Structure 1
Amino acid sequence: MDNGINRVNRELNTFDVEFGKRLREERERRGLNQSDFGALGGVAKVAQLNYEKGYRVPSTHYLSNLRKHGVDVGYLLSGDRDMPVMGRLDAKLLSCAISAVQEAAKQGGYVFSGIEEATMILAVHDAMLAGRNAGQTAEQFASAILTGWSIGRSGGV
């Protein structure tokens, strides 16, 4: 007999698994291991693993912390990527994001492919456009993103 509680439980389990897949995808897209990505959200590696496997649901505090680091939390929850406000690029912010990423890369000695650079530029642009840079300058925000990227590529600290 299929009652409403069983149906709700199945739907929640499906959400947890799909959320976990998107969470892992986002972590891997950023080139971070579970420990480093979990640290962005303020949790340990085991919690990150449990979220990705769909065994646990993260808190709003975790999601808020990820958002502060430019993670597209809307995508994690819905499967739909955020678009820049009004669906367009802001030319001034894009120029600022390009300069910030290039300067942060130069200062940090980072070398990356064209697609990695473009991804970082868009991440900085979109975060600034949405006000997610938490009072940081574009250069500070770009440096933080590049530091996380660098740690993830080197396999963590």
Structure 2
Amino acid sequence: MVSFCERLRGERTRLGLNQTDFAALAGVTKKTQMLYEAGDRVPDAHYMAAIAQAGADLYFIITGQKILVPNVDAAAPTWAPIDGEKLGRIIEMLEAAAKQAGRRWPSKKLAEVAAEIYNALGHEQQFDQPRVERILKLVINR
């Protein structure tokens, strides 16, 4: 997982600013900015508010997750980033359930079924293992 300081640095570069300019708009020195990006200091609320005004994505910096805004163009596809950890857990559980049922799937089929389960779970924040296990039983036995 990408750390807070790496996400902060990433947002600065996404905005096309060097450390000096980013620090200035946030009301801190370049040295302080360097300490934030190195993970040696933690910025305060005033700093965070200032960088938000400059266009930094605070939700992403703090949580590591992007907020997706619904697309007003209905013809354009919408997407969400894949949670690799969640998908990995689903694949591991799917492989274990298939093995227990005496089934073995080719990689393509495994990926398709894992994606189907992932999509069925939607954007749930918590990984509900009992629910995933129930879904797996249904999928394995179909």
Q: What is the TM-score when the length of structure 1 is the normalising length? A: 0.43
Return the index of the structure with the highest Cα Rg.
2
Higher helix fraction (1 or 2)? 1
